[in-house]
Amino acid sequence: MTIVPLSRRHLLQLMAATALVPLAQVPAFAQDSGVRAVVLSDLHSAYERFPQLLAAVAAQVESGAGLILINGDVFELGNVVATRSAGSVDWAFLEKLAALAPMVINIGNHEPDFDNDLANFVAQAEEMGIFVVSTIVDSRSGAAYAPAEVMVSVGDRQVQIVGIATDAVSTYPKPTREMMTMPASLRTAPSCPCCRKVRCWSVVTITCGLSMKMPASPMCIPGHGRA
């Protein structure tokens, strides 16, 4: 599997030709999969770059990329326009992306910036046909806001996407912190069985600040430029 990493830091280069490079060593069972994914992270309501970014992603999908992964932090409370509109431009952008290819979002600490209840974010994303993954638990019900993993069909291939949220709870909005818990079992790799499956392509998306060791078999995609 190959990826096209398109983070906010690379927005100035979006219209240039982008090389497809492996994120990590490719397991032998998947070397011929032909699956390509566009990976975005840390967009933070960068409205001035959304048209270029959408065009760049569309070009990659047209050239064969079959999956879009967003590794957290679509929204940004510091963007005045975004705040006043409750992220309406961000949602329109996500809807355009979701129309291009199957899309998965791993919840980041900025997703509740405009609506502190993550249940509403998940519901709105799923209405658009977007898969949402996370390890965050709703403390009010004890249920997960979203599954920790999903299986996505890309052509005739199955791709397992795992989403692990940052356990730095203090980075979330205060009202959100009062509605969430993090399962301590996910702080160590042996307690995360979803990360060890090898019958399909496994991609683990991790937002920043998680102090856990990951197994070598899946492709691990960190947010915030963390390795």
Name the residue range of residue 101's domain: 2-222
Which range (49-63, 106-120, 146-160, 178-192) has the least confidence? Answer: 178-192
Contacts made by residues 150-157, CB under 8 angstroms, sequence distance 24+: 150/104, 151/200, 152/67, 152/102, 152/104, 153/102, 154/35, 154/66, 154/67, 154/102, 155/34, 155/35, 155/66, 157/33, 157/34, 157/35, 157/200, 157/201
Residues 224 and 227: their CA atoms lie apart, in Å, by 9
Top-confidence residue, 211 or 165: 165
Strand runs labelled E in 34-156? 36-41, 67-71, 103-106, 131-133, 137-138, 149-154
pLDDT at 97: 97
Average pLDDT of the residues in 152-171 = 89
pLDDT at position 203: 66
Total number of domains constituting the chain: 1
Q: What is the pLDDT of residues 86-142, one digit of tens each?
A: 999 999 999 999 999 999 999 999 999 999 999 999 999 999 999 999 999 999 999
Q: Is residue 39 part of a domain?
A: yes
CATH number at residue 130: 3.60.21.10
Distance CA 210, CA 189 (A): 11
pTM of the predicted structure, to 2 decimals: 0.78
Instruction: Decide if 227 is inside a domain.
Output: no
Percent of the chain with pLDDT over 70: 66
Q: Are 127 and 92 in contact (CB under 8 A)?
A: no
Q: From CA 186, how far away is CA 67, in angstroms rounded?
A: 26
Is the pLDDT assigned to residue 43 strictly greater than 90?
yes
The pLDDT of residue 182 is: 85
